[in-house]
Amino acid sequence: GQHGLTGKDKSELVAKLNKKMKVFISSEAKLPKELESYKFRIAPERLHHALYYASIVVSEGSTIASEAGVLGTPAIYINSNPMSYCQEQERYGMIYNTPESKKVLSFVDTILNLPREHFRIRREKMLAEKTDVTAYLFDYIHQHYGKEEAARQIVKPAAAVSK
């Protein structure tokens, strides 16, 4: 089955990171007592702000790792279940994918020895090579239905669009 970090691995990782930065843990599972003080309590709508301003994100969840990468924050995705979108971001150097907990600490060192701007540049390259779906749809509607209809379609409430 799937596996990520053991409790011992998590404690070791937190101890290492805690020497260099403030550590926050977001977990769906109950945290061990020694890690409880690191529990991150944040409103869900503020999560992406936290990911953006983080120095590094270490995650057993592919979604959080990928979202961090898209925001320009380097991430380590630790899981035995590879995800294609995380592998895609690895090609840009935004995510370090591994099922091996032993590699995590060396990835942390690699990331923290690079300037933040290094990852912002990689992010810009990655996004420049992708399609902006909003712009694409706006242009499509504009070309096929006219400017006014494009504007109306873009500002429609989500509930009306889903019908």
The confidence score (pLDDT) of residue 3 equals 65
Length of the chain: 163
The confidence score (pLDDT) of residue 43 equals 93
The confidence score (pLDDT) of residue 27 equals 85
In three-state secondary structure terms, 55 is coil
The confidence score (pLDDT) of residue 163 equals 45
- Nearest CA-CA partner of 22 in 56, 46, 48: 56
Per the CB < 8 A criterion, the answer to whether 81 and 2 are in contact is: yes
- The sign one gets for the Cα dihedral 34, 99, 73, 46 is negative
pTM higher than 0.75 for the full model? yes
The confidence score (pLDDT) of residue 47 equals 95
- Per-residue model confidence as pLDDT tens for the chain (163 residues): 566 788 888 999 999 999 999 999 998 888 889 999 999 989 999 999 999 999 999 999 999 999 999 999 999 999 988 899 999 999 999 999 999 988 999 999 999 999 999 999 999 999 999 999 988 988 888 788 777 776 776 666 555 444 4
For residue 50 the two structure tokens come to 């936290």
The confidence score (pLDDT) of residue 145 equals 78
